[in-house]
């Protein structure tokens, strides 16, 4: 014959989907992973302004030597940087102010270097135009 367990030391009754001490169907004192409490919504992630990214990329394209003499991507990078910064001033939720500022600065440096080159070529007595190219002799 089996003896019943002594009173007071009985385990809690079986609860489906849980462990002893848990609320039925959940974790003690918290929501299961992947669920949000009722009424709370996640904030959408901040988006980086596309023009600020384009500004930096276009300005950095001028590292390629074929753009040193005619820095059109740098000019576009400066323009996109200023337009992107004005858009971000209107929309406080977008990120990318630093990217736009870097694009403006790098673009202006390459535009200045291109202008210095063309001023040197135009004022130098050692440089002349030979067909479709410039030749400089020292």
Check residue 113 and give its pLDDT.
93
Q: How confident is the model at residue 20 (pLDDT cuts 50, 70, 90)?
A: low
In 3D space, the residue among 88, 80, 66, 89 whose CA is nearest the CA of residue 108 turns out to be 80
Check residue 31 and give its pLDDT.
57
DSSP assignment of 52-84: HHHHHHHHHHTTSGGGSSS-HHHHHHHHHHHHH
Min mean pLDDT across 1-10, 19-28, 121-130 is at: 19-28
Average pLDDT over residues 73-84: 95
Check residue 65 and give its pLDDT.
85
Long-range contacts of 60-63 (CB under 8 A, 24+ apart): 60/106, 62/106, 62/107, 62/110
Domain coordinates of the chain in residue numbers?
50-124
In 3D space, the residue among 90, 78, 87, 81 whose CA is nearest the CA of residue 115 turns out to be 78
- Do 84 and 96 form a contact (C-beta atoms < 8 A)? yes
- 10 Å CB burial of residue 58 (0-12, 13-18, 19+) is buried
Check residue 25 and give its pLDDT.
52
Kindly tell me if the per-residue pLDDT of 86 is higher than 80: yes
Average pLDDT over residues 62-70: 87
- Do 70 and 134 form a contact (C-beta atoms < 8 A)? no
Which pTM does this prediction carry? 0.61
Kindly tell me if the per-residue pLDDT of 122 is higher than 60: yes
Average pLDDT over residues 26-41: 60
Kindly tell me if the per-residue pLDDT of 27 is higher than 80: no
Computed over every residue of the chain, the mean pLDDT equals 79
Give the chain's end-to-end CA distance (angstroms, integer). Answer: 116
Check residue 125 and give its pLDDT.
76
Q: Compute φ and ψ for 65, nearest 5 degrees.
A: -60, -25
């Amino acid at each position: 014959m089996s003896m019943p367990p002594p009173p007071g030391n009985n385990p809690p009754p079986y609860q489906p989907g849980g462990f002893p001490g848990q609320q039925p169907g959940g974790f003690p004192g918290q929501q299961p992973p992947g669920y949000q409490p009722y009424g709370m919504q996640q904030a959408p992630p901040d988006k980086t302004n596309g023009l600020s990214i384009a500004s930096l990329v276009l300005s950095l394209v001028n590292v390629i030597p074929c753009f040193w003499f005619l820095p059109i991507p740098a000019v576009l990078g400066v323009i996109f940087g200023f337009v992107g910064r004005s858009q971000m001033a209107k929309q406080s939720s977008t990120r990318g102010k630093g990217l736009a500022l870097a694009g403006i600065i790098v673009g202006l440096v390459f535009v200045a270097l291109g202008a210095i080159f063309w001023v040197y070529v135009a004022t130098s007595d050692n440089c002349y135009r030979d067909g479709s190219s410039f030749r400089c002799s020292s």
